[in-house]
Structure 1
């Protein structure tokens, strides 16, 4: 039997990544993902369509106050119209929110943040309909 007399050196795994691996990780996080704009664009387009419907409902909603008088106050309806107006304005202002997190974070964060304007708009419609009496 022929054995070689070369010494064997145990290989120990490195606990810290090599400098090139660390640089590539930080470079990946600094650069935006490809097609990052799809989620915020779809979210904004859907939110705009729903905001149009919410705006039309809000414009028509004062007709629900026609039957209000001193004997029959409609405080709940007036409050619901005010709250839904504030929520709709917040929804319009939040249309710009999804763009930066969607560009810099993961796909899940981009999709989740893109739902903020839509959620505010749907909350506006729900508040308005509940205040008028459709709920």
Structure 2
């Protein structure tokens, strides 16, 4: 009676090629969708006029500090001007975010992210008006 032969197991690394080499990576599954540009374009067209209004208000608002002196400090107004400037700069910088994310992600992400610049601009205007004393 013969015993079945055991398969020989090699203890050193095999020289077989890997299943994914540099030439054989799977294709990128995130293809841009058709009409992906509608949501960011709408968001940009809605945000730009409001940003111009916010920039005008920010440029005119230092006149609210004319009455400030040592007896009547205007710390709240100065802080509001600084915060409004930072929010407006963030809004301007965030105009590019919807374009990138709308092309790469789903439709809901594109629409949701497209309102970020408009929201930051409106927050800038609100902060400015509250700081000056219109609120």
| TM-score range for the pair, normalised by the shorter chain length | 0.7 to 0.9
Aligned to 2:49: 49
1:98 aligns with 2:70: no
More helix per residue:
1
> RMSD value over aligned CA atoms?
1.6
For residue 57 of structure 1, report the CA deviation from its aligned partner: 0.2
Matches within 5 A, 1:22-61: 29-61=29-61
Shift of 1:103: 1.0
After superposition, give the CA deviation of every residue in 1:83-125 in whole Å (9 maximum; x if it has no partner): 1001100110111001121112221110100111111111110
Query: Using the alignment, how far apart are the partners of 2:45 and 2:29 within structure 1?
Result: 27
TM-score, length of structure 2 as denominator length: 0.77
C-alpha displacement of 1:126: 0.5
Provide, for residues 65-96 of structure 1, a one-character-per-residue CA deviation record: whole Å limited to 9, x for no partner.
11111111100000000110011001101110
Ranges in structure 2 where 5+ consecutive residues have no aligned partner? 1-25
- What secondary structure, in the 3-state scheme, does the structure 2 residue paired with 1:30 have? coil
- Give the TM-score of the pair, scaled to structure 1: 0.77
Which consecutive residues of structure 1, in runs of 5 or more, have no partner in the other structure?
1-25
Deviation of 1:49 (Å): 0.8
Size of the aligned set, in residue pairs, is 110
- Deviation (angstroms), 1:28: 9.5
